Every structure is written in C-alpha cells, then in structure tokens.
Amino acid sequence: MSHLNTLVLHQLRYGELRGDALLRANEHLAACETCSSRLRAQEAERAAFVAAPVPDAIRAIGATAAPVRSWWRDWLPLAGALLAAASLSLVVREVRTDGVTSPEVATARPKGELPAVEVWVKRPEGTRPLREGEPVGSGDRIQLVYDPHGASAIALAGRDGSGRIEVYTTNAPTGIGLVRAPFALTLDDTPGSQELFVVGSDRALSEDEVKEAVAGAVHGARVGHVVLRKREGGGRR
C-alpha cells in the first residue's frame, strides 16, 4: 500500500484537499493505521503549538520587514525618473546610529540583478533581523542573509573603519531566494563603520578580483552593500 505523503497530510489538516484527492485521502486513512497515526501526531503537534506563546522574534518581523514584491511594483510605474534619481541610495542603505529608526529591516535592496542583502544579529537573547537605525557594537555576531538574484558565484567581503578590505569567502552558497552566509561575523572594536559586501558574478572571482570589485572596479560583478555603524563606545548593547 502506498502511504499518504507528509504534505498531503498537512493539506488535509488545513482543508486544502478537494474532490477526488480528499476522497482518496479519507479512504486511505480509514484503512491505514500508519497514516492515521502520522495524522494524529501532526494534530498533537498542532495542539501543543497553539498553547505556546508567539515568540518575540516573530512579532518583530511584522514590525520590521517590508514586503519585497510590493516595493518594486509600487515603484514600477515611475521607474524611469525615480530609478535614475534613486540609484545611488538604493545601492547603499545605511544602518544609522543617529537614533532615527525606521520600521524596516537593515537591508540593501539594490535595483536590477544586484544581490539583495539582509543583516541579522545574534545576541544572547536570540537571533533576529537588525532594524534600520539600530546600532551594533563589538562582540555582536552578524549573520548575512542574501538573495543572489541568479548569480552563479557569490563572494563575501568586508571593509572595516580603517579601510582594510577582507575577503571572507569567494565561494559562498548560491541558490534561489534568500541564502544564509555560511558563517557569522563577530564585530571587533575597530572604530568607524563596518561595511559588508555580497559580490555576485557569472564566474568564481579570485580574492584580488573581489577586492577590486568592492573598491569599485567591476569585473562583471554585481555588488550588494550594507553599512553598519558602530555605537559610540563600541560595546554590545
């Protein structure tokens, strides 16, 4: 007997099965203790989940993350003039320390095919998206999340307050949609801003080429960029 797959059991619970698919599933469940038991396990998990509070990290998402699709669709009709005017500000969206907070994730969402970059911060209380305007300090662990937008190769690099460029990897994961960087960065106490770069290209770049791409030479690279400014005094909040 072929069992119901996991997704079909979820679809059944959520009322998404219709017609023949629903009939077949119910007939199978009536005859199959294995699948009935799997469904009961999903329902028990649901019952335990409903009783638990919504984590703060999930609530924070609603206050921080703007919808991506609406963003560019809303702007599309005005693309010609606005894109020209906005191109610079789209490439770099700074995380400021001036206390002005905006209800958006600290993110660079460049136009075109540039990799989009999000910054998450790992602190003892948990990992969550860094809000725009939220300061960072030495000891904070920074997790980059990026959308390669079709790039075949991704390199990750940083530039600290002294202007030193460090290539973290020339072979970061690519994929469809958001991808986590394969490591977290722990900020040190170097004064000044910390810049992070996601360099997308159609071929793997050498470290030197990545440094040149970060410095402005193109090499066929598309560079997503975010600037973190450290809080005065440097330390973790």
Partner 1 sequence: MVLTRTSRSATADARASRMESLDIEALYRRYGDLVQGRCRSLLRSEQDAAEATQEVFLRLWRYRDSFRGEASPTTWLFKITTSTCLNRLRTRRRHPEELVDETPQLAGPRDALVSEIEARQLLNLLVEEEDERTRAALVYHHIDGMTHDEVGEMLGISGAAVRKRIAVFREKVRGRLPGLEGS
Q: Which residues bind partner 1 (CB under 8 A)?
A: 2-7, 10-11, 14, 16, 18, 42, 45-46, 49-50, 54-55, 57-59, 61-62, 65-70, 73-74, 105, 126-129, 145, 173, 175-180, 182-183
Terminal-residue alpha carbon distance, the chain:
58
DSSP state of 111: S
Q: Are 153 and 200 in contact (CB under 8 A)?
A: yes
CA–CA separation, 106 vs 185, rounded Å?
16
In the complex, the smallest distance separating the C-beta of residue 177 from partner 1, rounded to whole angstroms, is 7
Looking at beta carbons only, is 31 or 178 nearer to partner 1? 178
Looking at beta carbons only, is 175 or 220 nearer to partner 1? 175
Looking at beta carbons only, is 28 or 231 nearer to partner 1? 28
In the complex, the smallest distance separating the C-beta of residue 236 from partner 1, rounded to whole angstroms, is 19
In the complex, the smallest distance separating the C-beta of residue 11 from partner 1, rounded to whole angstroms, is 5
For 179-218, b/e burial (b = at least 16 CB within 10 A) is: bebeeebebeeeeebbbbbbbbbeeebeeebbbbbbeeee
Looking at beta carbons only, is 65 or 86 nearer to partner 1? 65
In the complex, the smallest distance separating the C-beta of residue 233 from partner 1, rounded to whole angstroms, is 29
CA–CA separation, 218 vs 220, rounded Å?
5
